[in-house]
Structure 1
Amino acid sequence: MNIAESVLLGFVQGLAEFLPVSSSGHLAIISYFIGQTEVPLLFDIMLHLATLAAVCIVFRRRIWELLCVVGRFIIRKPLESDRPDQKTIIALIAATAMTGIIGFILKDFVREISPFVISCCFVVTGILLFISGRFTPKQTVEAPNLVRGLIIGTVQGIGVIPGISRSGSTISASLFTGLDRRVAGEFSFLLSIPAILAAFILELKDADTLTGSVSAISLIAGMLTAFIVGLLSLKFLITLINKGKLGYFAFYLVPVGISLAIYFAVK
């Protein structure tokens, strides 16, 4: 893999990681067309780590607030105002556990998934975003709870399938459970932190594979590109979420997914 290919994959990762269009699906399709059908899995995870850094920067204050709540709980000096954040933390833990279970169940399927199936998953994501964009709950809540966390975590687990957007599916699930739009977006991105870290730890065993096929400069170029583009796309998506415009992405995903599905079906 040369520098140009690494930068291209980094750009796609940074753009698609937060925009609800499935970064893994786009990486797989782009890799197929540029001839990189055997992109090292750890290289993919390293790009995810770059975009994770963007999440930590954008939500650094919120992350610090939650860490302070955990700290006060550990030393047994919680505040009354900590209750909503305590629910959020419990929901994050429950969601992460469900993601791990579902991801483990689907891991073999994900490894063998074809470009045709990925294309069909783009269409599924587009339809989901279109429906959630038009969904308006009668009453919204400002904090997730255990049940919502389990539901959203299950959906995030399904989101390991390339073509199914992790951010799009978790934000949509959050909206369907009654979360406020701002909270839904925030929860989705906070939930990506343990998911990406866990994936990184599990794939450390592939470090030798990465070293043998991707040079250090190509890796750095890809990660830097993913970080910069990810930071910009994250801020852009937050604005769209607050305005209830997620459904717009359906007008990209559905025609692209159908076109690709036809291409791979007749190829």
Structure 2
Amino acid sequence: MSIFQAIILGVVQGIAEFLPISSSGHLAVAQQLFGLEEVPLLFDVMLHLATLAAVVLYFRKKIARLFVILFRWIFTRGEVSPSLQTHAFSATPSPKGQSPLKSPETDLLCGTDELGRKTILAVIFATLVTGAIGVFTSKVIPDMPIKVTCAGFIVTAGLLVFSSIWAKRQETENGKLKTENEQGISIRQSLFIGFMQGIGTLPGISRSGSTIAGAQLAGVNRAAAGEFSFIVSIPAILGAFVLEAKDLGEVGSQIGLLPVLCGCLAAFAWGYLSLSLLMKLIRRGKLEWFACYLVPLGILGLIFF
């Protein structure tokens, strides 16, 4: 693999990882076009790690808050001192009569200790479900033809359209963003989201798209669905890296250190940009727009591959 090919694959990964168009599917198609049929799976995972770094950077404040809540939960058994409550998340005092950990628009993932604890549990349960599904799909994915990936693009488009229609209908019935998620993400919701994230491990099906769709179908509002989708991807991607780490030497010998480094840097830079764009589109409820790209892409792939 040349440095140019590695950079192109990194750009593809960076753009497609967060946009709901399936990064693994686009990588498979790009590798097919380049004639790279023997690329170690770990190379794809390392590109995912690079985009994971973009997630951590983008959501660094929320992740830090969740760790503060976790440590407080473990070491104080949920007992929060007034000083910690006031200053843990903000340098400015809370308005009179308002909960110290709440802002005028409460962060539904970590705006309070209770919401943060629910989010932590939701991440754990969703990851367990995703992991169970991922163990199975990891055994069947290498044997799937490229046409399956192209069909997965069309499935992703269907998920995006259906979940967007569902979410907008629920908001119309209940009032804007008035959903069950105001009480935090429940265990039931997290299990369903984990299942949908597991479906996203199949070729051509977007992990972010299926996870966001699953969260919206479970009753999580758009903004929280998008944020949770990327936060819950952290343990999933780390787990995939651990499973494939045994092939680290193979990546270095078959591809080379410099192409891997260039590909990862490209994936990180473009990943951060695409993540910033996607969060704006999620809040505006425009995810179904990507179906206009995925359906023709899937059809063309089915015809020409």
Please say whether Structure 1 and Structure 2 have the same fold, judged by a TM-score greater than 0.5.
yes
2:169 equivalent to 1:128: no
Instruction: Kindly provide the CA deviation profile for residues 140-162 of structure 1, in whole angstroms up to 9, marking residues without a partner as x.
Output: 12321111111010111111112
Partner of 2:138: 107
Q: Quick one: which of 238, 258, 264 aligns to 2:299?
A: 258
In 2, Cα distance between the equivalents of 1:199 and 1:163? 17
Within 2, Cα distance between the matches of 1:37 and 1:72?
49
**Residue type matched to 1:57 in 2?**
L
Aligned twin of 2:35:
35
The equivalent of 2:91 in structure 1 is none
Look up the match of 2:266. Answer: 225
Whole-Å Cα distance in 2 between the matches of residues 261 and 109 of structure 1?
20
Distance in structure 2 (CA, Å) of the matches to 1:113 and 1:224: 29
The letter for the 2-side match of 1:167 is S
Map 1:1-267 → 2, pairs under 5 A: 1-78=1-78, 79=80, 81-135=112-166, 136=168, 137=170, 138-139=173-174, 140=179, 141-142=181-182, 143-264=184-305
Q: How far off is 1:133 after superposition?
A: 2.1
Identity of aligned residues (%): 47
Gapped regions of structure 2 (runs ≥ 5): 86-111
What TM-score does the superposition give when structure 2 sets the normalisation length?
0.85
Q: TM-score scaled to structure 1, two decimals?
A: 0.96
Instruction: Give the whole-Å Cα distance in 2 for the aligned partners of 1:187 and 1:131.
Output: 19
1:120-144, Cα deviation, whole Å (9 max, x unpaired):
1100101111122222213412321
The Cα shift of 1:76 comes to 2.2
Instruction: Answer with 1 or 2: which has the greater Rg.
Output: 2
SS of the aligned residue for 1:26 comes to helix
Give the unaligned 5+ runs of structure 1: none
1:72: Cα distance to partner? 0.5
Q: Alpha-carbon deviations, 1:83-140, whole Å to 9, x = none?
A: 1111111111000000000111222221111101110110010111112222221341
Separation in 2, partners of 1:77, 1:155: 32
Counterpart residue type for residue 134 of structure 2? G
Shift of 1:37: 1.2
Supply the distance in 2 between the matched residues of 1:236 and 1:63 (Cα, whole angstroms): 20
Task: Report the alpha carbon displacement of residue 82 of structure 1 after superposing the two structures with TM.
Answer: 0.9
Following the alignment from structure 1 to structure 2, what is the Cα–Cα distance between the partners of residues 38 and 242? 40
Q: What is the number of equivalent residue pairs in this alignment?
A: 264
SS at match of 1:75: helix
The aligned amino acid for 1:24 is S
Displacement over 4 Å in runs of 4+? none
SS at match of 2:232: helix
Pick which of 141-150 and 193-202 moved more. 141-150
